[in-house]
Amino acid sequence: PTGRQGVIKRYRDKLPEIPGWAISTLGEGDTPLIEAPRISARIGARLYLKFEGMNPTASFKDRGMTVALSRAVADGNTAVICASTGNTAAAASAYAARAGLTCFVVVPAGKIALGKAVQVLAHGAKIVQIDGNFDAALKLCQRAERDLGTVALVNSVNPDRIEGQKTAAFEVAETLGRPPDALALPVGNAGNITAYWKGFKEWREAGHADSAPRMLGFQAEGASPLVAGHDFENPETVASAIRIGAPASKKGALGAVSESGGLIESVTDEEILEAQGLLASSEGVFCEPASAAGVAGLLKLAKEGRAPEGVVVAVLTGHGLKDPDVILNRTRLPEPIPATFDALVETMQRVEPE
Ligand code: F0G
**For residues 341 and 57, what is the distance between their CA atoms, to the nearest angstrom?**
41
Domain count, the chain: 2
Q: Is residue 333 part of a domain?
A: no
User: Same domain, yes or no, for 171 and 275?
Assistant: yes
Predicted-complex ipTM score = 0.99
Q: Is residue 347 part of a domain?
A: no
Residue 248 belongs to a domain with what CATH number?
A: 3.40.50.1100
pLDDT tens per residue across span 193-240: 999 999 999 999 999 999 999 999 999 999 999 999 999 999 999 999
**For residues 153 and 139, what is the distance between their CA atoms, to the nearest angstrom?**
11
Q: Is residue 340 part of a domain?
A: no
Cα 321–Cα 102–Cα 85 angle in degrees, nearest 5: 35
The CB density around residue 22, as the number of other CB atoms within 10 Å, is 16
Q: Is residue 343 part of a domain?
A: no
Q: Is the CB of 187 under 6 A from ligand 1?
A: yes
In which band, very low, low, confident or very high, does the pLDDT at 353 lie, cut at 50, 70 and 90? low
User: Same domain, yes or no, for 47 and 87?
Assistant: no
Q: What does the pLDDT read at residue 84?
A: 98
Q: Is residue 24 part of a domain?
A: yes
CA of 320 to the centre of ligand 1 (A): 14
- Mutate which of 54, 127, 238, 317 for ligand 1 pocket (most atoms within 8 A of beta carbon): 317
In which band, very low, low, confident or very high, does the pLDDT at 108 lie, cut at 50, 70 and 90? very high
Q: What does the pLDDT read at residue 319?
A: 98
User: Does the pLDDT at position 129 exceed 90?
Assistant: yes
Q: What does the pLDDT read at residue 4?
A: 86
User: Does the pLDDT at position 125 exceed 80?
Assistant: yes
Q: What does the pLDDT read at residue 351?
A: 83
In percent, how much of the chain has pLDDT > 70?
98
CA of 183 to the centre of ligand 1 (A): 16
User: Same domain, yes or no, for 142 and 179?
Assistant: no
User: Same domain, yes or no, for 271 and 319?
Assistant: yes
User: Does the pLDDT at position 354 exceed 70?
Assistant: no
The verdict on whether residue 190 carries a ligand-binding annotation is: yes
The pTM (predicted TM-score) of the whole model is 0.97
User: Same domain, yes or no, for 312 and 168?
Assistant: yes
User: Same domain, yes or no, for 137 and 273?
Assistant: no
Give the atom of ligand 1 at the shortest distance from the alpha carbon of 195: 13
Mean pLDDT of 302-313: 98
For residues 283 and 34, the answer to whether their CB atoms sit within 8 Å is yes
pLDDT tens per residue across span 242-259: 999 999 999 999 999 999
Q: Is residue 192 part of a domain?
A: yes
- Looking at the chain, how many residues does it have? 354
| Domain limits for position 101 | 61-157
**For residues 133 and 135, what is the distance between their CA atoms, to the nearest angstrom?**
6
Mean pLDDT of 79-102: 98
User: Same domain, yes or no, for 153 and 44?
Assistant: no
Helix H, strand E, coil C: the string for 290-302 is HHHHHHHHHHHHH
Q: Is residue 73 part of a domain?
A: yes
Last residue in a domain, options 157, 192, 224 = 157
Last residue in a domain, options 128, 157, 186 = 157
Last residue in a domain, options 132, 157, 182 = 157
pLDDT tens per residue across span 199-209: 999 999 999 99
Q: Is the CB of 194 under 6 A from ligand 1?
A: no
Q: Is the CB of 59 under 6 A from ligand 1?
A: yes
Mean pLDDT of 331-354: 91
The CB density around residue 148, as the number of other CB atoms within 10 Å, is 10
Helix H, strand E, coil C: the string for the chain is CCCCCCHHHHCHHHCCCCCHHHCCCCCCCCCCEEECHHHHHHHCCEEEEEEHHHCCCCECHHHHHHHHHHHHHHCCCCEEEEECCCHHHHHHHHHHHHHCCEEEEEEECCCCCHHHHHHHHHHCCEEEEECCCHHHHHHHHHHHHHHHCCCEECCCCCHHHHHHHCHHHHHHHHHHCCCCCEEEEECCCCHHHHHHHHHHHHHHHCCCCCCCCEEEEEEEHHHCHHHHCCCCCCCCCCCHHHCCCCCCCHHHHHHHHHHHCCEEEEECHHHHHHHHHHHHHHHCCCECCHHHHHHHHHHHHHHCCCCCCCEEEEEECEEHHHCHHHHHCCCCCCCCCCCCHHHHHHHHHHCCCC
Q: Is residue 172 part of a domain?
A: yes
User: Same domain, yes or no, for 226 and 92?
Assistant: no
User: Same domain, yes or no, for 141 and 77?
Assistant: yes
**Residue bearing the CA closest to ligand 1, atom 12:** 189
In percent, how much of the chain has pLDDT > 90?
97
User: Same domain, yes or no, for 112 and 192?
Assistant: no
User: Same domain, yes or no, for 35 and 180?
Assistant: yes
User: Same domain, yes or no, for 286 and 198?
Assistant: yes
**For residues 7 and 160, what is the distance between their CA atoms, to the nearest angstrom?**
12
Mean pLDDT of 22-26: 98
